[in-house]
Amino acid sequence: MKLSKDGWAGLAVAAASLFLFWLTLGLKDNPLVPIGPGYYPRIVLGVTAAFALALLLWDALHPKPSPPRERLNYVLVLEMFAVFGLYVGALPYVGFRISTFFYIAATNALLDRPERGKGWLRVLAVALITTIVVYYAFERYLTVLLPRGRWTNF
Amino acid sequence: MFELLGAGLADMMQVKYLVPLFVGTLVGVVGGALPGITITMTVIVVLPFTFGLEPLQGLACMIGVYVGGETGGLITSCLLGIPGKPSAVATTFDGFPMARKGEPGRALWIGIWASIFGGLLGAIVLVAATGPLAQLALQFGPWEYFALFVLALSMVAGLVESSLLKGLLSGALGCVVTILGNDPVMGQPRLTLGIGWLEGGIPFLPVLIGVFAFAQIMSDVERFSRTPEAVNTAVNLVVSHAKVLAEILARPFLLLWSTFIGLVIGVLPAIGGSAANMLAYDQAKKFSKRPEKFGTGIPEGIIASEASNNANVAGSLVTIMAFGIPGDAVTAVMLGALTIHGIQSGPLFISQNAPLAYGMFAAYILAHPLVLILLFLGVRWVLRIVTVPKSILFPVVLVLCVVGAYALGNAMATVYVLLASGVFGYLMVKFGFPLAPFILGVILGDQIEINLVRSLMTDSDLWLFVTRPISALLLAMAVGSIVLSVWQHRRMQKRAATEGAADF
C-alpha cells in the first residue's frame, strides 16, 4: 500500500488528534457545570480524527497517479523560513530595530542577490529606510510599542 | 434607517474619517493591482496601522482597502493580462484581449464603471438587508447559534474546490486551534502541553495573518523569478466615458444578475470574490446570445466579472454585520479589528453600535467615488508601482505582519503563533488543504463551544437541537449542503470520466 500526500496528511492529523484526545481524558470535570472542560474538545478531536482516518482510508483505497512534478524552488522557501525564524528568535534579544534591519537586508539579498557593491548598497538602503519608517510610524505616530532587546536595550 | 445613514455619511465626510478612508482606498487600489499581493494580504498589512485609530477610522480604512482592492485588481488584468488578485481572474478573459485589440482604455474603464455600479447596487442590499437579518438573528438562542455556526462551517467545507473530506478536515483543524488553552466556562487549563502562554488560548488574528501571508508569499517564492515583469506604462487610456457608460447601462440584466451573484457569494461565509467573478462570468456566457465571442474581448465578460466581485464585498459585510460570521478573509481581519477595540460583532452589533455600523455603510458607499477619483487621476502611476520588485515587497510585508501580531498583546507569544501558523499554512497549501474552512474554524470554534455549553447548561436535552424549528432547519441545511457537495463532486467525476473517454 503506497500512500500519497493525502494519506500521509491523514495519518499525521489522526495521530495528533488521537494524542490530544487521550490528553483530554485527564481533564477533571467540575461539579458546578453539567459538562466538563474536556467535553467539547473530545467532540472536536473525535470528529477530526474520524475525518483524518477517512482521508487515509480513501487514499489507500483510491490510489491516484502522482501528478507531474513541477520544478519549484523549495531551497529558497526553506531559506526564507530560516531567516524569518532567526528574525523572530532574535527580536526579544536584540530588539526590533536591529533585527528588522538585518532581516530585511538578508531577505532582500536572498531574493535578489546583489552582485556588486552598488547592489549591496541598495540592499542596505532598503533595509535602513524600511526599518526607520516602520519604527517611527508605529512608535511615534501610532503609539504601538515595538520590542526592545534584552541584550541591547535598543 | 435613512436618518442614520445620512448621519453616517455626514460623519464620514469629516476629515478625520475621510483621510483614513482615502488612504485605505489608495492602498487597496495599489495592493489589488500588484500581482501576487491579495486584498487579504493588503488588509493584513494595513491592520497594525489601525490599532492607534478610533474604531470607525480603522474600519473605514479597511473598507477602503477592500473596495479599492477589488477595483484595483482589474488594472493589471486588463492591461497586462495578469490578474492582480484571484477575484479578477475572469476579468482577464475579455479585458486583456480587448486591450490587445487596441482598446486598453475601453477595457479598463468598462471594468472600473462596472465595479462602481456593482458595488453601489450591492450597497442598497447592504443597507436594507443587514438590519432585518440582524433582527432575525436576535431571536436565536444558543441552539440556533450553534446550528448556524455549524452550517457556516459545513457550507465552506462543501464549497471548496478540492475534496470535501479535506474541506471538512480543514474546518475541524481550525476548531482544534480553539480548544487549546483555558476552557471558556470555568477557566480550567486544558491541552496547553506545558506551554505557559498557551493558557490564554490562541488569538485568531496572528493565526489568520500567518496562514494567509505565508501561504501566499511562500507559494510565490517557490516560483520566484529575478527578472521583473516588463510593464508598458505608455498605453493610451483615453476613452469616451459616455460611451462606456452607455455600453454598461445597455445591459441592465447582466449588471443586475452579476451583482446578485456577487452578493449571494459574498453572503455565504468565507468563499470570496474569486468564486463570484468566475460564476458571474460563466452565467453571463450561458445567458448570452453570442457565447462563442466570450474570451475574445467583449464588454459582457468584463461587466459580469467586475460587477460581481465588487458586489461580493457588500455581501461579505452583510454576513459579518448581521451574524458576526466573516464572509471572507478580509472581513475576518475586520472582525479581529473590532475585537481589538472591544466591540462585539454579531446580531447586537447594529443596535448597540448604530453610529459605527452606519459609518461602515457610509464608508463603503463613499469608497466607490474615491476609487473613481483615484483612478481618473492616477491609473498610470499604479502601473508604475506594479513594477516594485517582490524582493523588496515580501520582507516589508512580513515585517508588518510581525508588527501586527506583536501589537495585538505587546508580547512575543503572538509572534511565535504567527510563525507557527505560517509554517502550518504553507504546509496546508502544499498538501492541498483549503485555507478558508480552517480560518472559519479558528474564528467560530470558540463560539460553537460557548453556545453548546450555554444550551446544555440551560437544558441538558440534546434533542432540543433538532426539535427547535430554526435550529433544526439550520442543521438540516448543514447536512443538505454536505450531501449536495458530495453529489456535485460525484457528478463532476462522472463528467470528467466521460470527457476523458470521449478524448480517446
pLDDT one digit per residue (tens) for chain B, 504 residues: 778 889 899 999 999 999 999 999 999 998 888 877 888 888 998 998 888 889 999 999 999 999 999 888 888 888 888 777 778 888 988 998 998 888 888 999 999 999 999 999 999 999 898 888 888 888 889 999 899 889 888 887 776 666 889 999 999 999 999 999 988 878 888 998 888 888 888 988 899 899 989 988 999 899 887 666 666 666 777 888 999 999 999 999 999 999 999 998 888 775 667 778 888 898 888 888 888 888 888 999 999 999 998 999 898 888 888 888 887 888 888 888 888 888 888 888 888 888 899 999 999 999 999 999 999 988 888 877 777 888 998 999 999 999 989 988 888 999 999 999 999 999 999 999 988 889 889 988 988 998 998 899 888 889 999 999 999 999 999 999 888 888 877 877 777 666 554 443
Amino acid B369 reads: P
Helices (H), B13-54: 15-33, 39-50
Q: Which among A44, A45, A111 has the least Cβ separation from residue B390? A: A111
pLDDT of residue B231: 63
pLDDT of residue A71: 82
Among B263, B251, B235, which Cα is nearest to B301's?
A: B251
User: What b/e sequence results for B45-70 when a residue is b if at least 16 CB atoms lie within 10 Å of its CB, and e otherwise?
Assistant: bbbbbbbebebbbbbbbbbbbbbbbb
Contacts B392 to A, Cβ<8 Å: 108, 126
Contact between B86 and B41 (Cβ < 8 Å): no
Instruction: Report the residue of A80, A113, A126 to disrupt the B interface, i.e. the one with the largest count of B CBs within 10 Å.
Output: A80
**DSSP states of A55-107:** HHHHHHHS--PPPPPP---HHHHHHHHHHHHHHHHHHHHH-HHHHHHHHHHHH
Distance from CA of B132 to the nearest CA of A (A): 32
- In chain B, the residue whose alpha carbon lies closest to the alpha carbon of A59 is B165
CA–CA distance, B467 with B138 (Å, rounded to integer): 19
pLDDT of residue B502: 44
pLDDT of residue B307: 93
**Domain residue spans in chain A?**
5-61, 74-141
What's the CA angle centered on B16, arms B13 and B18, to 5 degrees? 40
Instruction: Report the residue of A23, A32, A48, A79 to disrupt the B interface, i.e. the one with the largest count of B CBs within 10 Å.
Output: A48
Contacts B437 to A, Cβ<8 Å: none
Low-confidence ranges of chain A (pLDDT < 70): 1
φ, ψ (nearest 5 deg) of residue B327 = -75, -25
Reported as a single tens digit per residue, the pLDDT across A28-39 is 887 777 788 899
Q: Which among A92, A138, A142 has the least Cβ separation from residue B412? A: A92
Q: Do A77 and B49 touch (CB under 8 A)?
A: no
Number of domains in chain B: 1
Amino acid B121 reads: L
Reported as a single tens digit per residue, the pLDDT across A41-59 is 999 999 999 999 999 999 9
**DSSP states of A7-60:** HHHHHHHHHHHHHHHHHHTTPPP-TTSSS-TTHHHHHHHHHHHHHHHHHHHHHH
CA–CA distance, B359 with B344 (Å, rounded to integer): 16
Contacts B419 to A, Cβ<8 Å: 84-85, 88
Give the length of chain B: 504
Instruction: Report the residue of A11, A35, A84 to disrupt the B interface, i.e. the one with the largest count of B CBs within 10 Å.
Output: A84
Q: Do A126 and B412 touch (CB under 8 A)?
A: no
- Whether the complex's predicted ipTM surpasses the cut of 0.90: yes
Among B39, B47, B42, which Cα is nearest to B74's?
A: B39
pLDDT of residue A132: 96
Q: Do B398 and A134 touch (CB under 8 A)?
A: no
Q: Taking the CB of residue B153, how many other CB atoms lie within 10 A of it?
A: 29
CA–CA distance, A154 with A101 (Å, rounded to integer): 13
Q: How far is CA B469 from the centre of its chain?
A: 31
DSSP state of A36: -
Q: Do B176 and A44 touch (CB under 8 A)?
A: yes
Contacts B399 to A, Cβ<8 Å: 100, 103-104, 130, 134
CA–CA distance, A18 with A49 (Å, rounded to integer): 6
Contacts B185 to A, Cβ<8 Å: 30, 33, 37
Distance from CA of B123 to the nearest CA of A (A): 31
pLDDT of residue B414: 93
Contact between A112 and B389 (Cβ < 8 Å): yes
User: What b/e sequence results for B263-276 when a residue is b if at least 16 CB atoms lie within 10 Å of its CB, and e otherwise?
Assistant: bbbbbbbbbbbbbb
pLDDT of residue B457: 87
Q: Which among B218, B402, B460 has the least Cβ separation from residue A80? A: B218
φ, ψ (nearest 5 deg) of residue A99 = -65, -35
Contact between B419 and A84 (Cβ < 8 Å): yes
φ, ψ (nearest 5 deg) of residue A26 = -85, -5
Distance from CA of A36 to the nearest CA of B (A): 9
Q: Which domain holds residue B281?
A: 2-229+238-503
Q: Do B52 and A141 touch (CB under 8 A)?
A: yes
CA–CA distance, A99 with B107 (Å, rounded to integer): 45
Q: Which among B166, B445, B460 has the least Cβ separation from residue A34? A: B460
pLDDT of residue B252: 94
